[in-house]
Structure formats: structure tokens, C-alpha cells
Amino acid sequence: MYADVSLPVPLDHPFTYLLPETLRHRAKPGCRLLVPFGSRKLSGVILRVHNEPPAAAAREALRLMDEQPVLEEHLIALGQWISSYYCAPLGDVLRVMIPLSGEVRTSKMYSLTDAGRDAARQLLLGNPSEEPVIQLLRLLEQRPLSGSYIAKKIPDAVKALKALEKKRFLEVEDVQADRDPMRASAARLRVEYTLRPEGAKLTKSERELVSYLELHPGAHNLQQVEDAVPGASTAARALARKKLVSLRVEPSAIAPHPFKPAPALNQRQQAAFDTIEASIASHKFEAFLLHGITGSGKTEVYLRAIEEVINLAARA
């Protein structure tokens, strides 16, 4: 079994990978798949699963990142249309379409290849130099490291990484993980009471927060709880580490005040919108060029057109 995968690289065609036995019954179009790409490891979206061997030998996929598709068939089709219309690589288009991308932390992990290890042994043997490349080899010889960690330890890490990558001494893996809710702002977190703290030593603010949550069951926005319980943000994070409350990131920020009413369109904006609205109502695709200097009100016309499409879909 093989999978055609769209990767976020500037090459506008899918790449075919061999599916290992453990993934053959689980891999589906729309799921993300971690695959080797040159010396790197990239995640891409599966476009098709089939049993047609490619012309050249296919490399084996590494890991399935989703049990269920993150992009449905019609969304993949939309991504393909966007890619074609805007001349953008499909992999880049699908990457930004993946839901909840804002709650996923992406980082790069660097490790030495076999050639890199051989070079490290030779270069580091009796070499006290503190040059960035030598420093980097010394660190990576011990274990794989993230790009952010390397940047903290080595001042000129970018040039050193590029130099080692060019010599194929490094393997690079794109790592994706859920963001730690403990680090999110209080406005983005919801807190909920889960367990009575029998015998647990709590600070004053922690006790007050537990009492508040016991009296008000359910999940609450943490910033709003702060108004009633001073220090609730710090207390909630401490209690979450003790498994006494649960913290989760809200899917989107809640507006603290009502939205302002839309401004009235001027004569030229209205004329442009009326033309676009007529095209939307006809259910036919048309292209428009909206010309105007910065600040002339083009964005408001875009927003009205978007609103019209949403209302049309709701009425259908």
C-alpha cells in the first residue's frame, strides 16, 4: 500500500511513500503523515491511498499523526483550487488550512547523521576550539536538540546549522505537539474543578479558587474568575499541576465587548459591492479587480462580500 502525500515544499506535486504494515488500515486521505524528505522529516497531508507501485522505489512513511482526517474531501478539493488559482504549492496551502494550527507548536529537532558522527569524532578529538560549528557538534554528539535550545546555547547557531546541513552532517525533523495550556494567557483558558483536595496543602489563593469553583460548577474563563478571586491565574496553574482542576485552551478568544456596527458604504464602495453581490447571487464564478489607494475602503467591500457568501450559504 502506498500514500500520495502533499508536503509543504516549493514543488507542486505529491510524493509517494510506502505505508508500513501498522499504518495500512489506518491511513486515510486528509490525515497528516510524517515522512522522510531528503535529510529532513516533514509532515504532509495524505491525498490518496492506493496499491499502485511508483516508477522509482518509494521510501517508507514514518508515523501517522492523526487517527481521523483533519481535512475532509471537499476541503482538500478547495485547497487544490486555491493552489491552482493562486499558483501556490498545494502543500503550503493545505498546511495553513489545517484546523487548530494555532494550538500546535512546531519546532525543529536536529541530530547527527552517521557522517556527522564520524566528523564529530575526528574534529573534537583533542580540539579545544570554541568555534560555533565545533560547539554545535559537541552538543549534538550527546543527543538530538531543538533549534530553540541550540540558539540559546550558541550565539551564531544559524550559520553553524547551515554549514553542517550543507555537508549532510545533520538530520532535521519537524516536530509538532499540542501547546502547553499552562503557558496560555488567562483570557484563553477555561478552568474547571475536578477533584476535592483531601489533605493537600494549599495556599490562600488556591483555597479561595477551589471554594469558588465548588460553588460555581462547570468551566469558567480564567480571566473572568480573576475578577472574583485575586490571584486565580497563578493558583489555577498550580492546582492543575496537582490534578485538582483542569485547564484547557479555548478554541478562540472571546471578545470582551460588543462588535462595532459596520460603517455605511460610500457611493463607490456600494457600487463595487453591488457588482460583486450580483455575481454571488448568480452562483457563477467571476474575477474582480478592486482598485484603490491605501485607506480607500477596499477591505470593507471584501468583508461585505464575505458576509454575503455566508448569508447565502445559511439560506441554502
- Residue pLDDT, tens place only, 62-103: 999 888 899 999 999 999 999 999 999 999 999 988 865 444
Last residue of a domain, one of 178, 202, 229: 178
Total domain count for the chain? 4
Is 257 domain-assigned?
no
CATH number at residue 27: 3.40.1440.60
Query: Does the structure show a pLDDT above 70 at 302?
Result: yes
Contact between 6 and 42 under an 8 Å Cβ cutoff? The reply is: no
| Same domain, yes or no: 211 and 169 | no
For residue 118, give its domain range. Answer: 106-178
pLDDT at site 126: 64
**131 and 146 inside one domain:** yes
Domain boundary (249, 283, 307) is at 249
SS3 73: helix
> pTM to 2 decimals?
0.51
Please indicate, yes or no, if residue 261 is contained in any of the structural domains. Answer: no
pLDDT score, position 180:
60
Question: Contacts by 230-234 with C-beta closer than 8 Å and gap 24+?
Answer: 230/205, 231/205, 232/186, 232/191, 232/205, 232/208, 233/186, 234/205
**pLDDT over 50 at 312, yes or no:** yes
Mean pLDDT in the chain? 86
Count each helix (H run) and each strand (E run) in the chain, helices first: 11, 11
Which of 15-19, 155-159, 278-282, 308-312 shows the lowest mean pLDDT across its residues?
155-159
Lowest-pLDDT range, 97-106, 132-141, 210-219? Answer: 97-106
Between 17 and 313, the higher pLDDT residue: 17
